[in-house]
Amino acid sequence: MNGGPTNLLPTLRAIVGDAHVLTTATHGDLSAYEVDWRKRWRGRALAVVRPGTAVEVAAVVRACADAGVAIVPQGGNTGLVGGGVPDGSGTQVLLSLQRLNRVREIDAANLTITVEAGCVLQAVQQAADDAGLLFPLSLAAEGSCTIGGNLAANAGGTQVLRFGNARELCLGLEVVTAQGELWDGLSGLRKDNTGYDLRDLFIGSEGTLGVITAATLKLFPRPAAVMTALAACASIADAVRLLERARARLGAGLTGFEVMNRFSLELVARHFPQLAQPFAGDAAPAWTVLLELSDGESEAHAREAFEALLADALDAQLIADAVVAESVAQSRALWHLRESIPLAQAEEGLNIKHDIALPVSRIPDFVAATDAALEAAFPGVRLVDFGHLGDGNLHYNVQAPVGVDAAAFLREREHAVNALVFDAVMAHGGSISAEHGIGALKRDELARRKHPVALRLMRAIKTALDPVGVMNPGRVL
């Protein structure tokens, strides 16, 4: 070690400047960094360090590695699995990437954008739009989540159906290793078969293998027209059949297919009554589908295709009603309903979250069986079931019964609820984490449910890249 932890803070201040090494002694309340978005994970950092360049990140990591001090990388602190906040020991350095927020380059001919890890997702979308192009990654937290965090968790969002997860949108990375070396892999190449794909090791690794400092991302031509609609379905099985028809009729133009159960939208109505709902009250269906079509030809062509699909679905009794947005503002309002569900849940109280993936064909059976099993085991529980049906990702969340303290229900019932839900997920050929990651929340579940050979391979990679164990310990493995 080079001086040990006692001399670390002066070293860090020399690297990034006094103003960017935050401690409770010098800056008071650090809860913006030490408490997660759900207010469930509360830690205490030795210091919050805010480097401004990749070179500074590398120097900070080297200093921490020399001192034997663990590092917790953090982007926008919007994670849901406790992966981006320190533990309670007061011995870990929280490495905030928020100052690394530059757009380094837009290459319109190559359809790429190179941005630093602290760039807020919405800023990347805007930079692409200003260049007449599209960056399609879209999440409810896009106004505060960062590209580095999106890649570290392999974020999904609402357009995976057409464009894939964050992994599929990334061509190259710049990464600081656990030893403090800076690897420049910012390639804009779509074909590069020169050995192991190091990029894919770091994407989805949740900061346990290294620190992503920049990325080269794919851009796409902007569509000529975008159409959005809500459709009312009597069952989730009808929603799956509607998805099959939408894929057959719209092909790659189908860029969004979200599903929301009645209770999820009831929560939105309760906590955000100013948001108009086309199917509110007695007209509220068991399931509401939000569809989006992006058309490369024209608005008239898009509308004709969309309305033909919905008319066909009405004739086949797959939907009872549909509303098509007539303007950009109306389209945003429909999406706002979907994006307000997590916020409404937070207002309702703590809940037991599940971010699961299943084969689309098996989702109706899973929902029917698991809904019934939860009601039998925990009478009165309320199910907030919504998500990205188009790619098989459900946010299958369990809210306490009416009149039951939400925090107490979470504390006393979480393990049993998780066991029931995850057993059902595995029985239906699914995954216990679709897009939120493992973090600390699902680490023990992963150890129980992941194939032992896969776990051995993952541990071997962790040991090879981070032999001292300084990178985000206690997460994933």
Question: 138-144: long-range contacts (C-beta < 8 A, 24 or more apart)?
Answer: 140/339, 140/342, 141/37, 141/76, 141/78, 144/76, 144/78, 144/120
Decide: helix, strand or coil at residue 61: helix
Backbone angles phi, psi at 337, to 5 degrees: -60, -50
What is the per-residue pLDDT for 6? 64
pLDDT digits (tens, 9 = 90+) for 365-383: 999 999 999 999 999 999 9
Is the same domain home to 260 and 314?
Answer: yes
Is the same domain home to 231 and 217?
Answer: no
Q: Is 431 among the domain residues? A: yes
Residue 2 above 80 pLDDT?
Answer: no
Q: Is 338 among the domain residues? A: yes
| 157 vs 104, higher pLDDT | 104
Is the same domain home to 239 and 333?
Answer: yes
- pLDDT-above-90 percentage for the chain: 88
Is the same domain home to 147 and 65?
Answer: no
Q: Is 141 among the domain residues? A: yes
Is the same domain home to 241 and 211?
Answer: no
Residue 255 above 80 pLDDT?
Answer: yes
**What CATH number does residue 368 fall under?**
3.30.70.2740
Q: Could you say which DSSP state residue 147 is in?
A: H
Q: Report the alpha-carbon distance of residue 75 to residue 117 in Å, rounded.
A: 8
Instruction: Find, among 255, 349, 269, 370, the residue nearest to 305 by Cα.
Output: 255
Q: Is 68 among the domain residues? A: yes
Domain termination residue (choose one: 194, 221, 248): 221
Give yes or no for a contact between 110 and 61, defined as CB atoms under 8 angstroms apart: no
Is the same domain home to 315 and 360?
Answer: no
> Which residues sit opposite 384 in a β-bridge?
397
Least confident of 58-67, 166-175, 299-308, 310-319: 299-308
Is the same domain home to 328 and 243?
Answer: yes
pLDDT digits (tens, 9 = 90+) for 122-156: 999 999 999 999 999 998 889 999 999 999 999 99
Domain termination residue (choose one: 96, 116, 151): 96
Is the same domain home to 270 and 324?
Answer: yes
pLDDT digits (tens, 9 = 90+) for 195-226: 999 999 999 999 999 999 999 999 999 999 99
What is the per-residue pLDDT for 241? 97
pLDDT digits (tens, 9 = 90+) for 262-316: 999 999 999 999 999 999 887 799 999 999 999 878 888 888 998 999 999 999 9
| 157 vs 376, higher pLDDT | 376
Q: Is 446 among the domain residues? A: no
What average pLDDT score do residues 444-459 get?
A: 94
Backbone angles phi, psi at 274, to 5 degrees: -70, -15
Give the CA radius of gyration of the chain.
Answer: 23
What is the per-residue pLDDT for 82? 87
Name the token pair of 89.
């020991």
> Which residues sit opposite 290 in a β-bridge?
230, 258
What is the per-residue pLDDT for 39? 81
* Domains contained in the chain, number: 4
Model confidence at 88, in pLDDT bands (50, 70, 90)?
very high
User: What is the residue-averaged pLDDT of the chain?
Assistant: 94
Question: What is the domain extent for residue 87?
Answer: 5-96
Is the same domain home to 52 and 92?
Answer: yes
Is the same domain home to 234 and 329?
Answer: yes
Is the same domain home to 244 and 308?
Answer: yes
What is the per-residue pLDDT for 1? 42
pLDDT digits (tens, 9 = 90+) for 350-370: 999 999 999 999 999 999 999
**What CATH number does residue 186 fall under?**
3.30.465.10
What average pLDDT score do residues 36-61 get?
A: 94
What average pLDDT score do residues 112-117 get?
A: 98
Model confidence at 249, in pLDDT bands (50, 70, 90)?
very high
**What CATH number does residue 323 fall under?**
3.30.70.2190
The residue with tokens 């757009």 is 103
What average pLDDT score do residues 159-186 get?
A: 96
Is the same domain home to 216 and 229?
Answer: no
Instruction: Find, among 48, 78, 70, 201, the residue nearest to 147 by Cα.
Output: 78
Q: Is 458 among the domain residues? A: no
Q: Is 212 among the domain residues? A: yes
Give yes or no for a contact between 465 and 476, defined as CB atoms under 8 angstroms apart: no
Q: Is 407 among the domain residues? A: yes
Q: Which helix (H) or strand (E) holds 410?
A: helix 406-427
Least confident of 42-46, 78-82, 163-167, 415-419: 78-82
